[in-house]
Amino acid sequence: MEKALKKYLPVFTFPTAIAFLIGFIVPFVMAVYLSFCSFTTVNDAKFVGISNYIQAIKDPVFLHSVGFSAIFTVVTVILINVLAFAVALCLTQKIKGTNLFRTVFFMPNLIGGIVLGYVWQLLFNGILAYFNRTLTFSSIYGFWGLVILLCWQQVGYMMILYIAGLQNIPGDMLEAAQVDGATGAQRLFKIIIPSVRPTIVICTFMSLTNGFKLFDQNLALTAGEPSHGTEMVALNIYNTFYGSTAAYRGVGQAKAVIFAVALALVGILQMRLTAGKEE
Amino acid sequence: MFQVENQSWLDNWGQYCYDLSGSFIAEHSTANCLSMEGVEVAAVPFANESYGIIYNVDLLNEYCGLENAVISSPEEINNFSVLKAVADDIQARKDELGVEGAFTSAGLDGSSNWRFTTHLANMPIYWELTDKGVTSATSLEGTHVENYKNLIDLYFTDSTCDPALLSGKTGDDSLAEFCDGMAVFYQNGTWAWTEDGDIADMNIAFLPLYTGVEGEENIGVCTGTGNYWCVNKNSSEEDIQATLDFLEWVISSDEGKETMAGKMAFNVPFDTFADVELANPLFTSANEYEAAGKTAVSWIGTESLPTENWKSELASALIEYSQGTADWSAVEKVFTEDFASEWASR
């Protein structure tokens, strides 16, 4: 058995390894290299050292977008996970139509971000029009608009993961607790939540990275208006790359590398913190 | 083959330009080709375009027939004060005329804000450069930003919707309002006309972009070209030759000409198109101004715009001005400070 495994190891890992190499390693290495260059087209780059990085961290709009993304991510991670867990709890009770509700709640996740952004823009502006305002009136409007949009889109998806986690809790454990006289709150905090900890780790990680990387919804809903007030990191990188002359492509690239490294660090930190007691 | 929009694009892409001098397309061009240091003909234009205020001729004539109308025929609009008088009067009597406003919504949403951040922005820069007798600039004094404000204010007040809602209005909204007869005036260019669009059934013509500058009675609409063909000099010799042959075919064969002038309804600036009739009534309207001895407004303003960033800064400033969260000085700053700093950072 072991021998066969060894023999076929390359056969099974090779395609994935190649895909990983072409789809991730090569672009990532190129991206890091280009962040030290000035370029118009990627295969015609000139090395300029760390000047792109200096310009990137001196850009006040970029720093604002980092702050905006960070606050946005904290708010959405909490809201999405609390709501998704609550909905999942409700839909694992013995009530009628749970399958229908699960499908309905999951569906927004199937719609692309750009479409969602425009649809919600129409909805929000339609309501705000009664007050003679639009989403761009202030960045507070845009912020909560984005929060509502992302929650609506992702709660259903995280709900499915939480449902899977909840269904894995052995029924007899809960029953035993009930027989022993545990209250609903005790069962929730002492049994259910500790049991779904692996799911919580995954869901917070996913909502964390999704929040930071948000792009389509940002572009379609507010496009960063008013005056970069709601511009998130990914959109800022895009605007830097395409909004100016070729000289700024390297700066956009440098921002992207800073962003990727920072996000990886935050992700690792989060995994460490939430998965701490898992073993 | 690749495309550039104007001279300033050659700063980035000129390093790839093959010298087109002596080629069929350069020999037969009737417009100004772009050149740069060391390259005699770097880019050849393939479509003339014009922009201004498009108006619904039938609706405006209907207005002229109303009692106490400010004008008795559309031709009387020859400067900003007449335009404003007419627009204000249409706005005040919109129910009588059966419209929702004089102008379509000046949508500041990303889908068409270039109508104001690129095209209308040509006017204040054009007038400032013309006053100074130059054709390009990397900094502005903003002497005519007040004129830009004149027309923007008119778009905002004499409109189908409240200015505070403009940031959510799209280019499609504006076109739909125009085609549905909800407004008389609509700022856009020759490209707004398409053979299979609702606009093809309408009776339309251009007004120049009057902004209240002395002597503006003598201008026509803004005419220029923002599309040039270039050939990549780093390609193999066979590929370059094949590209040149293809472009020759496009502007000389019946099929190529029919596609460019018929299907795409372009006004194509090559002498091989001399026998081709213009499908688009807006070109006819633009040409009438020139035939009447008016000077077409060149695109020196738009060609001087520093970056895409600058345009988004202007759009942001206009949005904040429209919803009342910033005053006009934000727009002035974009034309003066930001204009210079964007050029400096290039």
Q: Which residues pair with B295 in a beta bridge?
A: B219
- The ranges of chain A with pLDDT < 70 are 1-2, 276-279
What local confidence, expressed as pLDDT, does residue A186 receive?
87
Of the residues B274, B289, B309, the one at which a domain ends: B274
Q: Which helix (H) or strand (E) is A43 found in, with range? A: none
| Of residues A136, A239, A246, nearest to B167 (C-beta) | A136
Biggest alpha carbon–alpha carbon distance for chain A = 73
Question: Using an 8 Å Cβ cutoff, are A267 and A202 in contact?
Answer: no
- Of B236, B229, B209, the C-alpha closest to B220 is B209
Shared domain for B333 and B214, answered yes or no, is yes
Q: Which residues pair with B48 in a beta bridge?
A: B267
Residue B310 forms part of a structural domain: yes
Residues ≥6 apart with Cβ < 8 Å to B287: B278
Asked if A243's CB is within 8 angstroms of B307's CB, the reply is yes
Shared domain for B31 and B148, answered yes or no, is no
Shared domain for B241 and B107, answered yes or no, is no
Asked if B317's CB is within 8 angstroms of A227's CB, the reply is yes
| Cα A47 from Cα A34, distance rounded (Å) | 8
Shared domain for B44 and B110, answered yes or no, is no
Mapping DSSP to helix (H, G, I), strand (E, B) and coil, where does residue A217 land? helix
| Cα A277 from Cα B331, distance rounded (Å) | 56
Asked if B308's CB is within 8 angstroms of A40's CB, the reply is no
Residue B291 forms part of a structural domain: no
What local confidence, expressed as pLDDT, does residue A276 receive?
63
Q: Which helix (H) or strand (E) is A39 found in, with range? A: strand A37-39
| Domains of chain A in sequence order | 60-275 (1.10.3720.10)
Say if B117 is an interface residue toward chain A (CB within 8 Å).
Answer: no
Domain count across chain B: 2
Question: Using an 8 Å Cβ cutoff, are B76 and B207 in contact?
Answer: no
Say if B233 is an interface residue toward chain A (CB within 8 Å).
Answer: no
Asked if A244's CB is within 8 angstroms of B346's CB, the reply is yes
Judged by phi (left if over 0) then psi (alpha if -120 to 50, else beta), residue B222 lies in beta
What local confidence, expressed as pLDDT, does residue B264 receive?
86
| Cα B310 from Cα B312, distance rounded (Å) | 5
Asked if B13's CB is within 8 angstroms of A125's CB, the reply is no
Residue B56 forms part of a structural domain: no
Tokens coding A83:
């709501």
Residue type, B1: M
Minimal CA separation from B169 to chain A, in Å: 10
Shared domain for B169 and B202, answered yes or no, is yes
Give the nearest chain B residue to A245 (CA atoms).
Answer: B346
Say if B170 is an interface residue toward chain A (CB within 8 Å).
Answer: no
Minimal CA separation from A151 to chain B, in Å: 22
| Of residues B164, B167, B309, nearest to A243 (C-beta) | B309
What local confidence, expressed as pLDDT, does residue A93 receive?
85
- How would you classify the pairing of strands B228-230 and A45-47? unpaired
- Of A170, A138, A148, the C-alpha closest to A75 is A148
Asked if A245's CB is within 8 angstroms of B320's CB, the reply is no
| Cα B315 from Cα B167, distance rounded (Å) | 9
In order of A143, A149, B177, the CA distances from A116 in angstroms are 16, 8, 25
| Cα B269 from Cα B251, distance rounded (Å) | 10
Residue B286 forms part of a structural domain: no
Residue B308 forms part of a structural domain: yes
Shared domain for B251 and B214, answered yes or no, is no
Asked if B317's CB is within 8 angstroms of A136's CB, the reply is no
User: What are the b/e assignments for A255-272, b being 16+ CB within 10 Å?
Assistant: bbbbbeeebeebeeebbe
Tokens coding A206:
């996913």
Say if B295 is an interface residue toward chain A (CB within 8 Å).
Answer: no
Q: How far apart are the first and last CA of chain A?
A: 29
Residue type, B87: A
Task: Kindly list the residues from chain B whose CB atom is less than 8 angstroms away from the CB atom of residue A245.
Answer: 11-12, 307, 346
Tokens coding B112:
């068409």
- Of A222, A226, A257, the C-alpha closest to A240 is A257
- In the numeric block, the tokens 């010799």 are attached to B237
The C-alpha R_g of chain A, in whole angstroms, comes to 23
Residue B38 forms part of a structural domain: yes
Give the nearest chain B residue to A230 (CA atoms).
Answer: B316
Asked if B323's CB is within 8 angstroms of A136's CB, the reply is yes
Shared domain for B175 and B312, answered yes or no, is yes
Say if B168 is an interface residue toward chain A (CB within 8 Å).
Answer: yes
Minimal CA separation from B335 to chain A, in Å: 15
Asked if A129's CB is within 8 angstroms of B316's CB, the reply is no
Asked if A129's CB is within 8 angstroms of B307's CB, the reply is no
Asked if A226's CB is within 8 angstroms of B319's CB, the reply is yes
Give the nearest chain A residue to B110 (CA atoms).
Answer: A223
Shared domain for B106 and B191, answered yes or no, is yes
Q: How many C-alpha atoms does B106 have within 13 Å on its Cβ side?
A: 29
Tokens coding A9:
């190891």
Residue type, A162: Y
Asked if A132's CB is within 8 angstroms of B164's CB, the reply is yes
Question: Domain with B27 in it: what CATH number?
Answer: 3.40.190.10
Q: Which helix (H) or strand (E) is A181 found in, with range? A: none
Q: Which structural domain range is residue B267 located in?
A: 2-48+225-274
Say if B215 is an interface residue toward chain A (CB within 8 Å).
Answer: no
Minimal CA separation from B12 to chain A, in Å: 6
Asked if A226's CB is within 8 angstroms of B316's CB, the reply is yes
Asked if B165's CB is within 8 angstroms of A40's CB, the reply is no
Task: Kindly list the residues from chain B whose CB atom is less than 8 angstroms away from the CB atom of residue A246.
Answer: 12
Tell me the residues of A at the B interface, defined by beta carbons under 8 Å apart.
40, 121, 125, 129, 132-138, 223, 225-228, 239, 242-247
Instruction: For chain B, give the secondary structure using H, E and C.
Output: CEEECCCCHHHHHHHHECCCCCCHHHHCECCCCEEECCEEEEEEECCEEEEEEEEEHHHHHHHHCCCCCCCCCHHHCCCHHHHHHHHHHHHHCHHHHCCCEEECCCCCCCCCCHHHHHHCCHHHHHHHHHHHCCCCCCCCCCCCHHHHHHHHHHHHHCECCCHHHHHHCCHHHHHHHHHCCCEEEEEEEHHHCCCCCHHHHCCEEEECCCCCCCCHHHEEEEEECCCEEECECCCCHHHHHHHHHHHHHHHHCHHHHHHHHHHCCCECCEHHHCCCCCCCHHHHHHHHHHHCCCEEECCHHHHHCCCHHHHHHHHHHHHHHHCCCCCCHHHHHHHHHHHHHHHHCC
Residue B217 forms part of a structural domain: yes
| Cα A226 from Cα A142, distance rounded (Å) | 9
What local confidence, expressed as pLDDT, does residue A143 receive?
94
Residue B285 forms part of a structural domain: no
pLDDT tens for A30-86 read 999 999 988 888 778 888 888 899 989 999 999 999 999 999 999 999 999 999 999
Task: Kindly list the residues from chain A whose CB atom is less than 8 angstroms away from the CB atom of residue B325.
Answer: 137-138, 226
Shared domain for B119 and B19, answered yes or no, is no
- Of B54, B76, B75, the C-alpha closest to B206 is B54
Task: Kindly list the residues from chain A whose CB atom is less than 8 angstroms away from the CB atom of residue B342.
Answer: 244
What local confidence, expressed as pLDDT, does residue A182 receive?
84
Asked if B12's CB is within 8 angstroms of A134's CB, the reply is no
In order of A145, B8, B20, the CA distances from B43 in angstroms are 45, 12, 7
Shared domain for B31 and B77, answered yes or no, is no
Question: Using an 8 Å Cβ cutoff, are A106 and A157 in contact?
Answer: yes
A23: DSSP letter: I
Shared domain for B251 and B145, answered yes or no, is no
Say if B114 is an interface residue toward chain A (CB within 8 Å).
Answer: no
Mapping DSSP to helix (H, G, I), strand (E, B) and coil, where does residue A192 land? helix
**What is the distance of C-alpha B341 from the center of its chain?**
25
- How would you classify the pairing of strands B219-224 and B295-297? parallel
Residues ≥6 apart with Cβ < 8 Å to B193: B199, B200, B204, B265, B280, B281, B282
What local confidence, expressed as pLDDT, does residue A1 receive?
61
Q: Is the ipTM of this complex over 0.85?
A: no
Shared domain for B318 and B259, answered yes or no, is no
Mapping DSSP to helix (H, G, I), strand (E, B) and coil, where does residue A96 land? coil
- The ranges of chain B with pLDDT < 50 are none
